[in-house]
Amino acid sequence: MRHRGSRAGAFLLAAIVVALPYVPAEAAAGTVTEFSSSVPDSTPLGLTAGPSSSVWFAEHVQGLGRVDAAGKVKEFAVPANSQQHVAVPEGAATASDGTVWFTDASTAVPRVGKVNAGTGAVTTYEVPTTGDVSFAGGQLTDITAGPDGAMWFTGGPSSAVGRVTASGAVTAYATTGLSPYAITTGPDKALWFTDTSGGSIGRLDPATGDVTIYSPESSGSGNPAAGGITAGPDGAVWFTEPGVGKIGRIVPGNDAVTEYAVPTANSAPEGITAGPDGNLWFTEAAAGNIGRVVPASKKISEYPLPDALSAPMRIINGPGGALWFTEAGKGAIGRLNPSAPPSGSPHAAAPPIVDGISPRVAASFQGRCPTSAIICETQLTMGGSVKIGGFSQTMPAGALRVSGYVTSLGSGSAVLQPPLTGSQLESVPVEVPGGVIGTLPLIGPILGMTPAAMLPFNKLTITQSLAGPVTIGFGPGGLQATATLNIQLNNQLLGSTCVIGPITASLAPADLSGGSAHDPQLGWQPLSVEIKDDTLAVPKAHGCGLGGILDGVINSTMGLPSSSGNTLDLPAILSVGAGAHSN
């Protein structure tokens, strides 16, 4: 027999979070097909063509994902590092044996890893952070299959490029002050990489470790200075310059660097790849477009994706002769047929930070905040547990979302303003198993399983609303946020006024990654965080039934009021950036 406390657990679940429904699905928009990750906050970045016509992608705050040949999305967790920090998956590439490799961009414990494409088992290797050449202070952002059978990766601020063998042996190569970001094997079988700090292009000879540096005319004049890089179908190396809106080209053996301006201003060309049609294809991260360069004529064309704030990042020539790309701003993987690209005029870019040299790469949530907002945030809980009185409840993933913005912190704190569109607190009704009958003391768990419990008058759902403003600020521990909630119990017998609240909860997030690691090309910061509060005080329910006649039933079931011993521990995804809505 179930204890009646399980009913209280159901109440508790709704008291703190309301599940946001999600069914991984494929959504077609014209000639663009999109495959959604589990939550739009996952921030998919790197991707690679895997075995059996699959595509694998790295989620900055979730783990790894796979789109199989049937279009089904499945996600895989990456284990914590040796300091028990969560992974920050970034780049992805496939080895010659079909093994999928990825980088962990954690600045505390940089790692590379591989996943068994058949079982999903993940193996990681922490890279060296001591010695004359190492990855100390680095951030591993990209990885590629090298010409020697090994995998090669970039180390960012560590100024190193790495090589890892199938067994996990790592070698570091110095790049003399550069900040390597993206990497590819060139047509000359050397490793070519972009420098995100100054905009240079580097060439590393795998036989000697020697590095040659090429400086485009625009190098050093835009932020981000350089983005993706690929070997072209014309024997040249092609790369992007997001900060100044250009595509660059170098012919190995010829020191000349040529640049071509992208038609849409401030669009931040980011990822680039050689397509199956003999053309170069690239993403426009600040405008939600896909671009094409015809190598022979250097003509550039642009095609709109369904959403201007989808922030397309990396792009590959993938299964089925299609182009695949990550849409970091909406948590999706996109696919299009290069012979039938999307029609219509390209999107204009988001309002730039500085016109011509600093585009605004923004996620969809930032479009809900004005450009005057210095902080635009959305916070989504992803599981965890809550305890009230003597009852505990495990929480579902994708639960409570709070969004909003502030334009000034003033004395260090401010009221979080509701977003320009949608609700500040997003929720849907959650049905309580057993309904009202199931909440009755002693006999509820039994009667809640009978046919009588299925009658309409017994149905019980719970919704919640904000009982006061959400405050936000910065303290010694970082971002602080507090919300006051009312929980309403919805049932024919309880009436429309049965409320538990107000309940004040701290939503202050603690970073789980061990450092503020995020891709330097992104215009927002997605973080895996944990929300803890052991100071919850829960008042009595009131207004339940005619004249409050059923208040006692609810309070007895939940053990209300409860002034101490109540806790919440919720992992969450916190995404923070500036506003991107100009009107």
Provide the 10 A C-beta neighbour count for residue 123: 13
Report the phi/psi class of residue 65: left, alpha or beta, with left for phi > 0 and alpha for psi in -120 to 50.
beta
Running DSSP on this structure, what letter comes out for residue 9?
Answer: H
Running DSSP on this structure, what letter comes out for residue 16?
Answer: H
Q: Specify the 3-state DSSP secondary structure of 511.
A: strand
Half-sphere exposure of 405 (CA within 13 A, CB side): 22
Which one, of 310, 264, 363, 367, lies nearest residue 582 by Cα? Answer: 367
CA 326 to chain centre: 11
Whether 581 sits among the annotated catalytic residues: the reply is no
Residue-by-residue DSSP string for 322-360: -EEEEETTTTEEEEE-TTSPPPSPPPPPPPPSBTTTB--
Provide the 10 A C-beta neighbour count for residue 194: 28
Strands 289-293 and 280-284: antiparallel
Which one, of 328, 396, 367, 431, lies nearest residue 572 by Cα? Answer: 396
Helix H or strand E segment including 12:
helix 5-16
| Contact (CB, 8 A) for 3 and 445 | yes
| Contact (CB, 8 A) for 59 and 76 | no
Give CA–CA dist 433/498, Å, rounded. 18
Give CA–CA dist 7/444, Å, rounded. 9
Omega into 502 within 30° of 0, i.e. cis?
yes
Which one, of 159, 161, 143, 140, lies nearest residue 151 by Cα? Answer: 143
Which one, of 109, 67, 579, lies nearest residue 374 by Cα? Answer: 579
Beta strands in 105-200 (DSSP E): 111-115, 122-126, 143-145, 151-154, 160-164, 170-174, 180-185, 191-195
Give CA–CA dist 285/256, Å, rounded. 27
Give CA–CA dist 200/180, Å, rounded. 9
Residue-by-residue DSSP string for 404-467: EEES--TTTEEE-BPPSSS-SEE---EEPTTHHHHTSTTTHHHHTTSGGGGSGGG--EEEEEES
Annotated catalytic residue within 85, 347, 518, 581:
347
Give CA–CA dist 206/188, Å, rounded. 11
Q: What is the dihedral of CA 131, 182, 48, 318, to 10 degrees?
A: -160
Size of the chain, expressed as the number of residues it contains? 583
Which residues belong to the active site?
Answer: 347
